[in-house]
Amino acid sequence: MWWGGRGQSFNIAPQKAEPDMGLSGPKPVQRTGMLESRSCQLGSHLALGCLPGEQILAWAPGVRKGLEPELPGTLICTNLRVTFQPRGWQRSQETPLSSEYDFVLVNIGRLEAVSGLSRVQLLRPGSPLKFTPEEILIHGRDFRLLRVAFEAGGLEPQAFQVTMAIVRARAQSSQAQQYAGISLSKAGQSSGPRKPPVPLLETSEDWETERKKQGAGSWRVSPVNERFDVATSLPRYFWVPKRTLDSEVRRAFGHFHQGRGPRLSWHHPGGSDLLRCGGFYTASDPNKEDIRAVESMLQAGHSDVVLVDTVDELPSLTDVQLAHLKLRALCLPDSSAAEEKWLSALEGTRWLDYVRSCLRKASDISVLVTSRVRSVVLQERGDRDFNGLLSSLVQLLSAPEARTLLGFQSLVQREWVAAGHPFLTRLGVTGASEEAPVFLLFLDCVWQLLQQFPAEFEFSEFFLLALHDSARVPDTLTFLRDTPWERAKQSGQFNSYTQIYTAGYSQLPAGNSVNPQLSVWDWDLRYSSEQILQFHNPGYDPEHCPDSWLPRQQPNFMVSGPPSSVWLFSRGALTPLNQLCPWRDSPSLLAVSSRWLPRPAISSESLADQEWGLPSHWGACPLPPGLLLPGYLGPQIRLWRRCYLRGRPEVQKGLSAPTISGLQDELSHLQELLRKWTPRISPEDHSEKRDPNTIVSQSR
């Protein structure tokens, strides 16, 4: 009943397992004497929960505070994580990482030691600890908070040790390579062939299946990047127009920033295509054939091409990072913002403003994509940040399929992981300066959609929270590498059980992989089956599920010859472009790096007087039934409290349970009762017991 009401992601009562000998035995009186032996026992006991290669650095008994109920247990620091192990709680072999008690070292954003009433010392890596802490507060960068009060009575040295160990381990953990050699026990257990729960898009079969599912008939899978020699940040396979040869692709891509040429992101069943590409590499000097190849790839068989300047009206990476830092500071429990000034402080972070601009832009683009047949090309210089964000949002708005659990995970896998979003750099794991949580911004946008359309999504807020928290958990390769190339190259070293991609990159026969690569989508690594059940949105209306959504297949209007109309979408307005590529005849435009036309000078006043309407030949086509148009007005963009205010338990407490789930429980209980009494039940009994495993691994 209390979903997340206690400041946790989930509200499942800690398992009250029978007390085990390791922790409950010794009483305080005996403690000092038994410390040695106890430590031994404890060590061996704790080791049970450790992953191979993980080492316990220090531990101390304590009580977890701030959340109800207060839990006695042990605070443990290893070379991977800080974990609070409640007394009597046994780490399940099934879920080697706990979503509730674990704080991965890289996730620690701030550390505070408290002694006495007022002595708070901020611990920076390397700063000395001058007193024995009575209490320690760990602020996660994912907005979680762990507050542990150490036990008194002769154990102060341990409290000191564990605190120092955390500080040291935290300092050393900035290198992601730290985790090399640690492997997940789950992988060792799995025997026999196992299909990943979500297609990882590492084989051409995956791409082919996905292409067929989207019905992109005029596209094909190109293996031109199989050896990552076109671009290391691109996946090994991607979709290009059917008529374009691989050699043309290779040459054309050379004229784009970092070799990221135009590829299909999504094919709308109505006939439009959504493409993404990097900025034009203006220093290159393409010949006529190359230009023709680039143009035909951008045009993709459509007569209308709309180039979308992705970064226009969106925040820069630095803006996003700054806003996220400010938001984190504001959401800390001791944030200095007064209650009556809270809203303007929130506005001051500009985070919600950025969420708004993303939603607004995505909403505009999805109208462009769905209203008629055309090719919409998202162009961002790097093509690795906001292109992914916008293209995923557009798909969420336009395709009911993407709003299912499986569909959303595939979407993230395709548009973020496979498309080479530099997770490691952006989430600050490497400590590099280009940190910017674009992915978390995306998750916030999705949460806003979830709030606005509670019946349209198969997944719940808790699924988004789980994904949010997983971004910094170093258990799988999904979010731990910057490029698909690194992921492929290092997967062997990271996890000895997984297949090693050797030179030659021979195609592994599908279904024959003995130990498939683990991904973030293997939720059972970190979440219990009860938690996974909560990933489902009980309010999801099956009427909106993809089965009942029949796309009207519109006839394809194809025009031979050069593109007849090319537009640039920028500042919420369409302006005509004379040409697609910047190189052709006007050398003056080459000077403009990625933008080849001066921006239309439209002030907000003149926008007001404009007629709202699409050009007549695009027609007033009714918007497809599956399209969501999100609200993005000030009052409609809200703060994701369950995520950002987790560190402030007083705000979290009493968040009322979504009552629909209570009803669902009642319903299944009644059905259960009835089933017991009657051997056969009416056919309209549609609440089959859900098996958590089928949720994430539904057949493709």
Give yes or no for residue 578 binding other proteins (CB under 8 A). Answer: no
Distance CA 551, CA 556 (A): 14
Q: Kindly list the distances between the CA atom of residue 697 and the CA atoms of 208, 392, 449, 539, 615, in Å, as whole numbers in the listed order.
A: 19, 21, 24, 21, 44
Give yes or no for residue 353 binding other proteins (CB under 8 A). Answer: yes
Cβ 1 to other proteins shortest distance, Å:
8
Helix (H, G, I), strand (E, B) or coil at 176: helix
Among 547, 625, 691, 694, binds other proteins (CB under 8 A): 625
Among 143, 237, 567, 583, binds other proteins (CB under 8 A): 567
Tokens representing 18 are: 């029978």
Taking CB under 8 A as the binding criterion, the range among 49-57, 332-340, 399-407, 512-520 that sits at the site for other proteins is 332-340
Cβ 499 to other proteins shortest distance, Å:
38
Cβ 139 to other proteins shortest distance, Å:
18
Give yes or no for residue 579 binding other proteins (CB under 8 A). Answer: no
Give yes or no for residue 690 binding other proteins (CB under 8 A). Answer: no
* Residue nearer to other proteins on the CB measure, 66 or 197: 66
Taking CB under 8 A as the binding criterion, the range among 161-169, 432-440, 583-591, 642-650 that sits at the site for other proteins is 642-650
369-408 binders of other proteins (CB under 8 A): 371
Radius of gyration, CA atoms only, the chain: 27
Give yes or no for residue 301 binding other proteins (CB under 8 A). Answer: yes
Taking CB under 8 A as the binding criterion, the range among 221-229, 412-420, 480-488, 667-675 that sits at the site for other proteins is 667-675
Cβ 105 to other proteins shortest distance, Å:
30
Cβ 321 to other proteins shortest distance, Å:
20
Give yes or no for residue 359 binding other proteins (CB under 8 A). Answer: no
62-81 binders of other proteins (CB under 8 A): 68
Distance CA 691, CA 609 (A): 56
Write the binding mask 191 to 210 for other proteins: x where contact by CB under 8 A, - elsewhere.
--------------------
Distance CA 385, CA 439 (A): 8
Q: Kindly list the distances between the CA atom of residue 227 and the CA atoms of 231, 237, 490, 505, in Å, as whole numbers in the listed order.
A: 9, 10, 15, 7
Residue 301: CA count within 13 A, CB half-sphere: 19
Taking CB under 8 A as the binding criterion, the range among 112-120, 141-149, 492-500, 568-576 that sits at the site for other proteins is 568-576
Residue 453: CA count within 13 A, CB half-sphere: 20
Contact in structure between 3 and 658 (CB atoms under 8 Å): yes
Sheet holding 573-576, edge to edge: 263-267, 273-277, 375-379, 304-309, 565-570, 573-576
Among 26, 199, 630, 647, binds other proteins (CB under 8 A): 630
Number of residues binding to other proteins, judged by CB under 8 A: 99
Give yes or no for residue 620 binding other proteins (CB under 8 A). Answer: yes
Sequence-separated (6 or more) residues with CB below 8 Å from residue 151: 60, 61, 62, 63
* Residue nearer to other proteins on the CB measure, 227 or 675: 675
Distance CA 35, CA 652 (A): 38
* Residue nearer to other proteins on the CB measure, 74 or 370: 370
514-543 binders of other proteins (CB under 8 A): 539-541, 543
* Residue nearer to other proteins on the CB measure, 226 or 313: 313
Give yes or no for residue 346 binding other proteins (CB under 8 A). Answer: yes
Give yes or no for residue 28 binding other proteins (CB under 8 A). Answer: no
Contact in structure between 331 and 647 (CB atoms under 8 Å): yes
Using CA of residue 74, residue 78, residue 80, residue 82, what is the dihedral sign?
A: positive
Sequence-separated (6 or more) residues with CB below 8 Å from residue 604: none
Among 453, 462, 485, 494, binds other proteins (CB under 8 A): 453
Distance CA 145, CA 110 (A): 10
Tokens representing 428 are: 């600050």
Cβ 608 to other proteins shortest distance, Å:
4
